[in-house]
Structure 1
């Protein structure tokens, strides 16, 4: 990413899953120039990442959006307090509640995804 990239973040410490609708509104306001299909994909990705942090990792710390100068790209990052990496399950239509399904959705919608550790507070960024 370059110095020309636009970046925004929202502090999610101390929130609960009811904050998800606010995260979606914040995302739509923050990156308003996306077409409806790209915005829909972006909302699904950030919703899955933040929901996973609430469900599996004790809650998110921060969500960040970075819009690089490259057209049609948005970098979505969610920090949480857990060093445990997300599980990517194999999609099974007969078991829609199987853990890892959200990461499978993200894998389909994102060009790439990954995890890096945050030793400052013992967590990670997805």
Structure 2
């Protein structure tokens, strides 16, 4: 099963979940993205994990995850809706602090990322596009 055949996203309902569900969410995404080259798939899973963790930690909980496959170049779009309208903010952590590096990873591994708010729904969606044409990745296999 490939997300984004024709640009149609596959959805994972995150209502009622918390950060303890991240392994199951990654497992769902990994199964769907099994035809990607390993480095690309791992980048997608890392970006997905960081965005979802931020939704749980800073966004009042996650609502929905969408994965969309875009064909040329092989690209996966990740959208995570959460319960906040506060946009994500990259900060520069001190070398001795534990956290605060997730959005730097998202920024490094993504072709683009950002957020959009939905004021009527009192939510926002953080999105990222992860491509397979980065220097360290093998090309995606086609089914």
Give TM-score scaled by structure 2 length.
0.79
Number of aligned residue pairs: give it: 123
For 1:97, the equivalent position in structure 2 comes to: 98
For 1:65, the equivalent position in structure 2 comes to: 67
Of residues 101-110 and 116-125 in structure 1, the stretch that sits farther from structure 2 once superposed is: 116-125
In the TM superposition, residue 121 of structure 1 has moved relative to its aligned partner by 1.2
Determine the C-alpha separation between the residues in 1 that align with 2:120 and 2:30.
Answer: 30
In the TM superposition, residue 32 of structure 1 has moved relative to its aligned partner by 1.4
Is the counterpart of residue 110 in structure 1 residue 110 in structure 2? yes
For 1:40, the equivalent position in structure 2 comes to: 42
Give TM-score scaled by structure 1 length.
0.89
In the TM superposition, residue 3 of structure 1 has moved relative to its aligned partner by 8.1
Instruction: Flag the structure with higher strand content.
Output: 2
Deviating 4+ runs (over 4 angstroms) = none
In the TM superposition, residue 58 of structure 1 has moved relative to its aligned partner by 1.3
For 2:52, the equivalent position in structure 1 comes to: 50
Match of 1:22 among 21, 24, 31: 24
Q: Is the 8 Å Cα contact of residues 89 and 98 (structure 1) preserved in structure 2?
A: no
